[in-house]
Amino acid sequence: MQDGKKTLYSAIQPTNNLTIGNYLGAIKNMTALQNDYNCFYAVADMHAITVRQQPAELRAKTLSLIALYIACGIDPEKCTLYVQSHVPAHAQLAWVLNTFTYVGEMERMTQFKDKSARHADNINMGLMDYPVLMAADILLYGADYVPVGEDQRQHLEITRDIAQRFNNAYSPTFTVPEGIFMKVGAKIGDLQSPDKKMSKSAENPNGSVFLSDDKDTIIRKFKRAVTDSGSEIYYDPVNKAGISNLLGIYSVFSDKTVQEAERDFCGVGYGEFKLAVGEAVAEKLAPIQREQARLLEDKQYLNEILKKNSEYASRTAGRTLAKVYKKIGFYQL
C-alpha cells in the first residue's frame, strides 16, 4: 500500500486472550512500526488449528482480534490488516516449501517439542509443519523484516534457511528476512511466577493480566502479585524479581522510566504500590476495551476492511506464488 518503504510482516493467533505482555511486546510495537514500513498484519487462524478449536469460538475470536488491533491504534488504511485463511496462497506456498524443508529440522524445533508435550493426544503434522507455514506467511509478501521475540527466533532462522535453499536451487526469488527483536515489554513476567514470561496460556490465570480483564479483575490480580520479604521498592531483577516486574509494568503503562517509577514509590508500602500499578494498567486498557466493543458492534465495517485488505494481500501474494510455480515447473494457463 505504501511505496518506497521496506516491507514488514507480523501475525498473531486468535487463540486464548491476549495479555498485557502481548500488548507491550507485539501490538504496541506494531502500531509504531506501521508508520515506517509497508506492513502486513495477519490474524493467523490457520496456525490456530494445530490445536483443536471450537469453530464458533474461533470465528468470534478472529473478528475480536481484528477489532482489538484497530482499537490499539493499528490503522487499516496504513497497513494491510487481514485474516490468514482469506488468502489461499499461504497454504499453496507452504506445500511447495515443504519440499525444501527436512524432517530433522522440524523435529528439532523447540515449540514443536513444547506443544507436543502439552498436547500429547494430538501430535498432528500441522503441529510439526507450523514453521513452514510461517515461512510461507513471511516470504509471500517479500518481507524485509519480521518483529520477533526470543521464542520466535528459531522460526525466523528456518524461514531464512528455506528461502536461501530455494533461491540457491533456482534463482533469487525470495527476500531473505531480517528480524527486528523487540525489547519493550518483551520480558513482562507472570505475576505469580515473575521469573517466567507472562503467557496467555498460563495454568494460573492470576499470573496473567488479559486485555479483556475489567478493572476489578486487574486490581485483584495485582494485589495478589508475588513480591518479596523486603519493604523497599527498587529495580533488581535478580534479588527482587517480583518488585522489578511490577516496576517495569508500571513504567510502560504510565509512560515513565523505571528510575522515575522508583522515585514515585520511595517509602511507599508494597500494598499501595501494587494497587497503583493495577490502576495504571486499568486506566490504559479502558479506552482500548471500549473501542474494541464499539467496533464489534459494527460488523459490516470490519467485514469491509477485511474484504478490501484480503484482496490486496491476495494480489501481492499471488505474484510471489506465480513466480514460484513457474520456477519449479508447474504448467500454468
Q: Are residues 174 and 82 in the same domain?
A: yes
> Which of 121 and 220 is assigned the larger pLDDT?
220
Q: Are residues 251 and 313 in the same domain?
A: no
Q: Are residues 319 and 280 in the same domain?
A: no
pLDDT score for 185: 44
> Which of 11 and 204 is assigned the larger pLDDT?
11
Pick left, alpha or beta for residue 175 (phi over 0 → left; psi -120 to 50 → alpha; otherwise beta): beta
Range of the domain at 287: 205-292
Residue 249 within a domain? yes
* Residue pair 134/155 in contact by the 8 Å Cβ criterion: yes
pLDDT score for 155: 85
pLDDT score for 186: 47
Residue 228 within a domain? yes
Mean pLDDT of 206-211: 92
Q: Which amino acid is at 222?
A: F
pLDDT score for 3: 67
Residue 251 within a domain? yes
pLDDT score for 181: 78
Q: Are residues 311 and 177 in the same domain?
A: yes
- Euclidean distance between CA atoms 306 and 195, whole angstroms: 39
- Euclidean distance between CA atoms 267 and 39, whole angstroms: 45
Residue 116 confidence class, pLDDT cut points 50, 70, 90: low
Give the strand order in the sheet containing 145-148. 80-83, 38-43, 7-12, 145-148, 178-181
Q: Are residues 45 and 122 in the same domain?
A: yes
**Residue 218: CATH number of its domain:** 1.10.240.10
Prediction pTM value: 0.89
296-330 confidence digits (pLDDT tens): 999 999 999 999 999 999 999 999 999 999 999 99
pLDDT score for 204: 84
Largest CA distance in the chain: 75
Q: Are residues 34 and 85 in the same domain?
A: yes
pLDDT score for 184: 47
> Which of 128 and 246 is assigned the larger pLDDT?
246
> Which cell goes with 54?
471450537
Residue 198 within a domain? no
* Residue pair 206/23 in contact by the 8 Å Cβ criterion: no
pLDDT over 70 percentage in the chain: 93
Of 91-100, 165-174, 248-257, minimum mean pLDDT range: 248-257
In the predicted structure, residue 117 carries a pLDDT above the cut 70: no
Which active-site residues does the annotation give? 115, 197, 200
Per-residue HEC secondary structure of the chain comes to CCCCCCEEEEEECCCCCCEHHHHHHHHHHHHHHCCCCEEEEEECHHHHCCCCCCHHHHHHHHHHHHHHHHHCCCCCCCCEEEEHHHCCHHHHHHHHHHCCCCHHHHHCCHHHHHHHHHCCCCCCHHHHHHHHHHHHHHHHCCCCEEEECHHHHHHHHHHHHHHHHHHHHCCCCCCCCEEEECCCCCCCECCCCCCCECCCCCCCHHHCCECCCCHHHHHHHHHCCCCCCCCCCCCCCCCCHHHHHHHHHHHHHHCCCHHHHHHHCCCCCHHHHHHHHHHHHHHHHHHHHHHHHHHHCCHHHHHHHHHHHHHHHHHHHHHHHHHHHHHHCCCCC
**Count of domains observed in the chain:** 2
151-192 confidence digits (pLDDT tens): 778 889 999 999 999 999 999 999 999 998 765 444 789 999
Q: Are residues 221 and 84 in the same domain?
A: no
pLDDT score for 54: 93
Residue 189 within a domain? no
- Residue 117 neighbours by CB under 8 Å, 6+ apart: none
- Euclidean distance between CA atoms 152 and 110, whole angstroms: 10
pLDDT over 90 percentage in the chain: 68
80, 82, 76, 110: which is closest to 14 by C-alpha?
82
76-87 confidence digits (pLDDT tens): 999 999 999 999
The rounded mean pLDDT for the chain is 90
Phi, psi of 80 (to 5 degrees): -100, 100
Write the burial class of residue 234 (CB in 10 Å: 0-12 exposed, 13-18 middle, 19+ buried): middle
